[in-house]
Structure 1
Amino acid sequence: MQYKNATRIEHFFITGFPGLSVQYYAPVSLLLLIVFLAIVFGNIFILVLVKCEQCLHKPTYLIFCHVALSDLGFGIATLPKIISKYWFDNSFIEFNTCFVQMFFVHYLGSVHSLFLMVMALDRFMAISFPLRYPSAFTNKTVSIICGVSWFVSMSWMTFIVIHAYMLPYCNSNVIAQCYCDHYTITSLSCEVRKDVQDFSLGGAMFFLLVPLTFIFFSYFAIIGVVMKISNQDGRMKTLSTCTPQLLITLLYYMPRCFVYLANYLGFSLSFPVRILVVMLYSQIPAAVNPLIYCFKTKDIKECLRKRFKMAKVYVGITEH
């Protein structure tokens, strides 16, 4: 069917959390603003700390920086618009802007998943091949792997978004979501093409399941190596080096797997609950990850402790 005479819509209308009473707009916008500020300041803090501390110029912390950068970008790409909806009652998003947001939503989500795989590779190499690790897994190696991850995700998502952008849009312009995502937007097309959505779903499953499979087998192998360590303290110390990566990985994958598994088993979440769950699993990890870096990573805790002591000494000197 041709839609040459149809009027193409110029903007979309974001519904946000459906059924939310106007009296809760201010508290919700304030809560979202707090999450946004936590994401921005927390991840910038990690980037600056690793940059300034020479002792953190190691592959593990370089990977943390890439994860922090993807978290920061995702928060900036998604939260300001939904905050403005509830703060200023501004629900409209321009047509082209929506597709730009769509690109960053899926691009940063996919590259984040790849970085989690690189994290698992880092721990696998460090624990399984401790003697070869310093020479095999250098900062240069990590930069190349992470650079390839940025590029591969960008190439794939650019194609998917352009494919969606070329569809005719002349029907409803109401986005039943808090931000522009591929499935929601393409469902609004005058010509809903299943091949476009299936291709996007295939890409999403690739960037989700391939890293997850690698992570699963990596940590399974790590556990096998750790169990061969005869000393109990040695086993605990070795496993503790994986704690930040495991927590970050679980925060990212568990809610997503829960949603996909619930759908597969026929347990459908109500529409408002689904949107809330999506917002929680897409935003909370980005806000919490910096705290995990600071409180669960030995080297970063030591750096912060030294900084704090130096600050106390400086304050004491200035007071006298």
Structure 2
Amino acid sequence: MLETSFCLKVGHLLLYAMSESNITEFINPSTFILLGIPGLEVAHVWISIPFCTMYTIALLGNSAILFIVKREPSLHEPVYYFLCMLAVTDLVLSTSTLPKILSIFWFNSREIDFNACLAQMYFFHCISAMESGIFVAMALDRYVAICDPLRHSTILTNPVVAKIVLAVALRGGVLLVPHPILARQWPYCRTNIIPHTYCEHMAVVNLACTDTRISNYYGLFVVFSVIGMDVFCIVVSYVQILRAIFSLPTKDARLKTFGTCGSHLCVILVFYMPGLFSFLTHRFGQNVPLHFHVLIANVSVLVAPMLNPIIYGVRTKQIRDSLFQIFTNKGT
């Protein structure tokens, strides 16, 4: 009887020690597990086909924009500088997420190092904030070009463009630094499984087993101060642009300018709407199916980088002519 009670006590002590060691290890996980698209694991291979196609188009399209603008001195103007910066952010945004997503779909490679996850989180949100600022700069450029064309070259000089680009880069780089710093401090004792295709900020923070209100409040501050302000500036710019369009003398000029601005607005909506949907779903959309949430969240890293070089590049006459000249010269 004494031996039995002794063995039970030893067994309880061993179990307690093992559980304590597991919790201690799990508070600082060395890796996270990305599930991909929860509920659609069977279809991952099929889903990878459009994902890979859009990623390839984004890589080729944005690289072509950078090559053409660098090659053609006639394109060394503010609007094309902004377009080049947009191409760079699209390349970084898609490349920071898509290779890992495709490795999940193709090779079931779900593990991601803890530090790599935080780095991916930072770059995704940092580049997204930069891209938002670039859209504001491009809306400003369109506003000056349409509403005050005679002063365009004197208002948007190269030094002014350089300052705008620097301000956009610094704002995104500095404001998003607290995200990974705060996320690194939280203990993760619930699970290390992230039901997502990449390390999105709230998807990671929601795994913490402590009070994360600081991260939540700071996330709200970033959204309202960056995205909210940028959307406001874009709306004001395009309202003024539309007023100028409707005052143009000929119907053809109105239709042409309106078509260009309309396509720009569609791309801007494609960029902002998935992010807004994901932001609201994390906080209020508990009834939204998880696979639908994850699919929509991937639109901003897939569709926008694919569409930007097409809408802003191929549909721009100067770039289209330069691209045609490159191919015709190679042909001869």
TM-score, shorter chain, exceeding 0.5: yes
Contact map agreement 1:110 1:153 (CA 8 A) in 2? yes
Between the aligned partners of 1:34 and 1:178, the Cα distance in structure 2 is: 17
| Match in the other structure for 1:19 | 39
Show the counterpart of 1:317: none
Q: Does 1:174 align with 2:214?
A: no
Call closer, same or farther: CA 1:84–1:267 in 2, change over 3 Å: closer
Alignment partner of 2:146 out of 122, 127, 133: 127
Q: Distance in 2 between matches of 1:286 and 1:298?
A: 20
Pair 1:78 & 2:97 matched: yes
Offset of residue 41 of structure 1: 2.0
Moved more, 72-81 or 256-265: 256-265
Contact 1:17 1:275 in 2 (8 A): yes
CA RMSD, 1 decimal: 2.5
* Cα distance change, pair 13–198 in 1 and its aligned pair in 2 (3 A): same
Q: Deviations over 1:178-215 (max 9, x none)?
A: 10011111111121321221211220232211111111
Could you list the per-position Cα deviations for residues 3-54 of structure 1 after superposition, in whole angstroms to 9, with x for gaps in the alignment? 99833211100011112244x3333334333232222222111111111111
Deviation of the 1:158 alpha carbon: 0.9
CA distance, structure 2, for counterparts of residue 258 and residue 187 of structure 1: 17
Rounded Cα–Cα distance in structure 1 between residues aligned with 2:301 and 2:257: 30
Residue of structure 2 equivalent to 1:184: 203
How far apart are 1:262 and its partner, in Å? Answer: 8.1
Read off the aligned partner of 2:35 and give its amino acid letter. Answer: T
Structure 1's unaligned 5+ residue stretches are: 315-320
TM-score when scaled to structure 2? 0.85
SS at match of 1:242: helix
On the 8 A contact 1:244/1:297 being kept in 2, the answer is no
Q: Match for residue 157 of structure 2?
A: 138
The answer to whether the 8 A contact 2:40-2:291 is kept is no
Distance in 2 (CA, whole Å) between partners of 1:18 and 1:78 is 17
User: Percent sequence identity over matched residues?
Assistant: 30
Task: Give 2:252's aligned residue.
Answer: 233
Matched, 1:6 2:24: yes
Letter in 2 for 1:170: C
SS at match of 1:13: strand
Counterparts in 2 of 1:1-320, with a 5 A limit? Answer: 6-7=24-25, 8-22=28-42, 24-240=43-259, 242-243=261-262, 245-257=264-276, 268-312=287-331, 314=332
1:243 Cα offset (Å)? 5.0
Paired AA for residue 34 in structure 2: I
Shift of 1:253: 2.4
> 2 CA distance for matches of 1:237 and 1:25?
41
Larger Rg over CA atoms = 2
Q: Could you tell which deviates more after superposition, 265-274 or 29-38?
A: 265-274
Deviation, 1:301, is 1.4
Q: How many pairs does the alignment contain?
A: 310
For each residue in 1:143-174, what CA deviation from the matched residue of structure 2 results, as whole angstroms up to 9, or x when unmatched? Answer: 22011111111011112221221222232101
- Give the counterpart letter for 1:234 in structure 2: A
SS in 1 for 2:199: coil
Distance 2:316 2:271 in 1: 18
Q: How far apart in 2 are the matches of 1:275 and 1:89?
A: 17
